């Protein structure tokens, strides 16, 4: 039977106190809703329908990379009403899975089990919780079969004691939704059309509603405020980092590494404290990362050492390179094998050849650098004339003396040598020495000024 997924995401999330729709707040670097969409996608449904209301345009834009069917719910009249909005889109033969845009960590495995239980009647994902306040309670008969879900606001004192709760997540044959949803009434304390009411209607028709439980509490946690958002974030981070340690990564402190995206590590990677990974990061064998580094969309070869306080973004690092401390590698930086970038060096859109060194206090932008080049301290590639960007081409074995400015567009041939303190504006051919600075003048017998005596 084919699967269709409905994700409810119309709520405002007023407790977030945010102008951003709740489902766009990130966990592990991705919007809550994107986690749900990705998990839904892993089940190979024929369609994913998302019910949006509050901030619909922002939500649609943020998820524009996915193929989704958008349904708008202009008035929030309850979860049953929200699902009803999608009925005209559903194929009557499919099984329908209902998810929540603000319950991000639900696992595909749990959902497969739930879908498998919903072949001839609805099936509900329930959970046993320590504190059931706020949730709909599961009411069972003497045989232990589910008979109804009662919302907290409609529950009596005895029902409120029940610790088995409705996670909200449900699977049902589309035919049951077509038949039962139009019969749901809103005569309850909130005046809403409650989706779980279809369960008691199904039971009244002689159907058996089966229930499944999630494998972990994290899976069913929803986000209503920023405290819960942070709790989920910490738990997700803990699980990610533990998984990496199991795979052989050394972490100085599991609680002080955050991964907002995906981190792939080869053997014997070692990560010090306060390191942040964003986007897609790949680390080769024997990579060591010092404290307080940020790596964003970076691929790093084997044997690379990234020292403390370095910030790397959109860079490709070859084997055995050394970076930092205090290095900033900006997008388009490529370091070839054994290159060294030292402290207070910024690189951008530059290819640094094998074994080349930029060890101190330099800016290298829009530069193509050969192998075994030595760039002295304080060297600047002047790549911008206020309107356009230009390239600096540096051959193999070039030596650039300290405090030089290389005014692009510029070519320095192989083994070119630039004297310290030069401003270089013209091509330097192979093996040439270029010096572009005023000659030193020494003045004999020069008198220093003296302090005048104060006359008054
Ligand atoms: C709902 C369940 C409750 C369950 C709880 C789990 C109902 C009536 N109650 O309660 O049994 O224990 O979830 O967290 O279903 N939404 C819409 N349109 C609407 C109403 C809601 O899209 O008209 C969306 C919300 O954005 C949210 C989700 O549905 O993502 C749940 O709605 P919410 O109002 O939070 O339901 P609860 O009262 O928490
Ligand atoms: Ca809720």
**Residues 243 and 207 placed together within one structural domain of the fold:** no
pLDDT digits (tens, 9 = 90+) for 131-161: 999 999 999 999 999 999 999 999 999 999 9
Specify whether 49 is catalytic: no
- Candidate list 35, 311, 360, 453, residue with the active-site label: 360
Q: Give the Cβ contact number of residue 224 at 10 Å.
A: 15
**Parent domain of 71:** 3-219
* Among 213, 210, 226, CA closest to 173: 210
Are 60 and 101 found together in one domain? yes
Q: Is the CB of 136 under 6 A from ligand 1?
A: yes
Residue 36 lies in a domain: yes
Q: Do 274 and 178 fall within a single domain?
A: no
Query: Which atom of ligand 1 sits closest to the CA of residue 167?
Result: 6
pTM check: above 0.75: yes
pLDDT of residue 456: 65
Phi-psi region of 185 (alpha: psi -120 to 50; beta: other; left: phi over 0): beta
Whose structure tokens read 């590494």? Answer: 257
209 and 241 assigned to the same domain:
no
The reply to whether 242 and 369 lie within a common domain is yes
- Please give the radius of gyration of the chain, using alpha carbons only, rounded to the nearest integer: 32
CA distances from 13 to 70, 379, 403 (A): 19, 52, 55
Nearest to residue 1, comparing CAs of 178, 227, 172?
172
pLDDT, residue 1, reads 78
In this structure, are 202 and 291 located in the same domain? no
CA of 367: how far to CAs of 301, 332, 364, 380, 440, in Å? 21, 10, 6, 11, 31
Q: Is residue 455 part of a domain?
A: no
- The domain that holds 283 is classified in CATH as 2.160.10.10
Q: Whose CA is nearest to atom 11 of ligand 1?
A: 136
Both 232 and 215 in one domain: the answer is no
Rounded to an integer, the average pLDDT of 299-309 is: 98
State the ligand closest to the CA atom of 11: 1
Cβ 303 under 6 angstroms from ligand 1: no
CA-CA distances (angstroms) from residue 139 to 118, 121, 162, 213, 221? 19, 17, 8, 15, 21
Alpha-helical regions (H) of 44-124: 56-62, 79-84, 108-116
Summarised one tens digit per residue, pLDDT across range 256-283 is 999 999 999 999 999 999 999 999 999 9
State which of 7, 11, 23, 154 you would mutate to test the pocket of ligand 1, scoring each by most atoms of that ligand within 8 A of its C-beta.
11
Query: Does 179 share its domain with 232?
Result: no
Residue 453: inside a domain: no
What is the pairing mode between strands 137-140 and 146-150?
A: antiparallel
Residues 6+ apart with CB under 8 A from 102: 9, 11, 13, 22, 23, 32, 222, 223, 224
Looking at the structure, tell me whether residues 165 and 276 fall in a common domain: no
Given pLDDT bands bounded at 50, 70 and 90, which one contains residue 455? Answer: low
**Residue 182: its pLDDT value, please?**
98
**What pLDDT, in 10s, does the model give residues 163-212?**
999 999 999 999 999 999 999 999 999 999 999 999 999 999 999 999 99
Phi, psi of 11, rounded to the nearest 5 degrees? -65, 155
Domain endpoint, select from 201, 219, 237? 219
The CATH number for 104's domain is 3.90.550.10
Q: Are strands 26-27 and 30-31 parallel, antiparallel or unpaired?
A: antiparallel
Nearest ligand for residue 165 CA: 1
pLDDT > 90: what percent of the chain? 98
| Overall domain count for the chain | 2
Q: Are 312 and 321 in contact (CB under 8 A)?
A: no
**149 Cα nearest atom in ligand 1:** 11
Same domain, 207 and 294: no
**Last residue of one domain, picked from the residues 170, 203, 219:** 219
Q: Which of 98-102, 289-293, 452-456 has the lowest mean pLDDT?
A: 452-456
pLDDT of 20 reads 96
User: Would you say residue 244 lies in a domain?
Assistant: yes
Same domain, yes or no, for 155 and 232?
no
- Both 275 and 183 in one domain: the answer is no
54 pLDDT band (50/70/90 cuts)?
confident
């Amino acid at each position: 039977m084919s699967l269709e997924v409905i994700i409810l995401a119309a709520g405002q999330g007023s407790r977030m106190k945010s102008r951003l729709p709740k489902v766009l707040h990130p966990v592990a670097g991705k919007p809550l809703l994107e986690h749900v969409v990705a998990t839904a996608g892993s089940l190979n449904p024929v369609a994913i329908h998302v019910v949006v209301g509050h901030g619909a345009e922002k939500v649609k834009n943020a998820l524009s990379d996915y193929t989704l069917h958008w349904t708008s719910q202009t008035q929030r009249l309850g979860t049953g009403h929200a699902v009803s909005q999608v009925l005209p889109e559903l194929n009557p033969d499919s099984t329908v899975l209902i998810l929540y845009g603000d319950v991000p960590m639900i696992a595909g495995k749990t959902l497969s089990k739930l879908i498998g239980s919903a072949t001839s009647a609805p099936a509900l994902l329930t959970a046993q919780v320590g504190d059931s306040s706020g949730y709909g309670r599961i009411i069972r008969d003497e045989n232990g079969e589910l008979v109804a879900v009662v919302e907290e606001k409609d529950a009596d004192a005895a029902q409120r004691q029940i610790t088995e709760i409705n996670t909200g997540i449900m699977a049902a044959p589309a035919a049951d939704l077509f038949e039962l949803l139009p019969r749901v009434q809103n005569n309850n304390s909130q005046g809403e059309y409650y989706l779980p009411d279809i369960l008691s209607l199904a039971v009244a028709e002689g159907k058996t509603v089966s229930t499944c439980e999630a494998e972990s509490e994290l899976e069913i946690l929803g986000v209503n405020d920023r405290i819960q958002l942070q709790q989920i974030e910490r738990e997700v981070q803990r699980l990610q980092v533990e998984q990496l340690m199991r795979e052989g990564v050394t972490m100085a402190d599991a609680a002080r590494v955050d991964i907002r995206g995906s981190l792939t590590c080869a053997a014997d990677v070692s990560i010090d404290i306060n390191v942040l990974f964003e986007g897609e990061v790949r680390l080769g064998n024997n990579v060591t990362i010092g404290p307080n580094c940020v790596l964003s969309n970076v691929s790093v070869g084997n044997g690379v050492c990234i020292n403390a306080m370095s910030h790397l973004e959109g860079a490709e690092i070859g084997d055995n390179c050394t970076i930092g401390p205090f290095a900033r590698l900006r997008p388009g930086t490529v370091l070839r094998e054994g290159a060294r970038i030292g402290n207070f060096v910024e690189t951008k859109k530059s290819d640094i050849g094998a074994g080349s060194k930029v060890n101190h206090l330099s800016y290298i932008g829009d530069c193509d650098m050969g192998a075994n080049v030595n760039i002295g301290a304080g060297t600047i590639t002047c790549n911008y004339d206020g309107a356009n960007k230009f390239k600096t081409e540096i051959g193999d074995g070039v030596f650039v003396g300290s405090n030089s400015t290389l005014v692009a567009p510029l070519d320095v041939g192989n083994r070119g040598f630039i004297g310290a303190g030069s401003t270089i504006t013209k091509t330097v051919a192979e093996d040439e020495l270029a010096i572009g600075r005023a000659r030193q003048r020494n003045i004999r017998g020069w008198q220093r000024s003296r302090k005048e005596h104060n006359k008054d």
